[in-house]
């Protein structure tokens, strides 16, 4: 399995058979090159323009949205209902956390989570190997909030997302995530990681470069 960060909250996860899952594809307003890649499944945490640009993808993928369990392309997705803010969705609406497994690695994508998890919510996620978590604040968890959620979930690998990079326009009011990275031991492997990078114990923070790596 290989995980590549395409920018914002969008990841390409490809298993050893070539099956591809893409999360939260963005539109042109976010500043990154559009994710015009083939996918078998696309998981959409919520219907905001910077997370639901399904039409950018190739391959007529199955679309997974909302809470509950659903199997697509032979992969079971578990959607946990949460909110995009800390006021029960009154500011920005609902958000879905997706957990799924590929090549024996359990992945959890928090979408635009905007609040701390309750004990039942955290327990419902189960064992997590790779956690994709927003850290840029303003619309989601900030660095301090993200660290608290990581302590609840206890993943092996943490991949920060939804933070300011040079590609993101100044008008897009998220922060670089420096407060999250401060004091953390950070690995920077380039544009992708594989299951071979999983540590025996975590959490290990992995900051990926955005964009597609060269094809294998």
CB-CB contact of 126 with 99 (8 Å): yes
CB-CB contact of 13 with 102 (8 Å): yes
Percentage of the residues of the chain whose pLDDT score is greater than 90: 81
Domains of the chain: 2-206 (3.60.15.10)
pLDDT of residue 103: 96
Q: Assign residue 119 a region: left if phi > 0, alpha if psi is -120 to 50, beta otherwise?
A: alpha
The pTM (predicted TM-score) of the whole model is: 0.95
- Split at pLDDT 50, 70, 90, the class of 42 is very high
> Residue 56: helix, strand or coil by DSSP?
helix
Length of the chain (residues): 216
Nearest to 166 by CA among 48, 9, 7: 7
Could you report the per-residue pLDDT of 172-188, keeping only the tens digit for each? 989 998 989 988 889 99
- pLDDT at residue 76 greater than cutoff 80: yes
């Amino acid at each position: 399995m290989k995980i590549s960060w395409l920018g914002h909250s969008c990841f390409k996860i490809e298993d050893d058979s070539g099956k591809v899952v893409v999360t939260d594809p963005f539109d042109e307003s976010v500043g990154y090159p559009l994710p015009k890649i083939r996918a078998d499944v696309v998981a959409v945490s919520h219907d905001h323009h910077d997370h639901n640009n399904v039409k950018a993808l190739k391959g007529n993928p199955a679309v997974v949205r909302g809470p509950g369990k659903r199997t697509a392309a032979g992969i079971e997705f578990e959607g946990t209902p949460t909110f995009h803010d800390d006021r029960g969705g009154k500011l920005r609406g609902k958000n879905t956390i997706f957990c799924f497994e590929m090549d024996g690695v359990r992945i959890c994508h928090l979408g635009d989570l905007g609040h701390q998890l309750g004990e039942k919510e955290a327990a419902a996620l189960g064992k997590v190997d790779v956690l994709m978590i927003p850290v840029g604040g303003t619309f989601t968890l900030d660095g301090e909030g993200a660290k608290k959620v990581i302590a609840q979930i206890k993943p092996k690998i943490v991949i920060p997302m939804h933070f300011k990079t040079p590609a993101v326009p100044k008008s897009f009011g998220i922060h670089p995530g420096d407060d999250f990275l401060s004091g953390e031991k950070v690995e920077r492997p380039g544009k992708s990681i594989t299951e071979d990078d999983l540590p025996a114990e975590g959490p290990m923070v992995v900051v990926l470069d955005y964009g597609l790596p060269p094809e294998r």
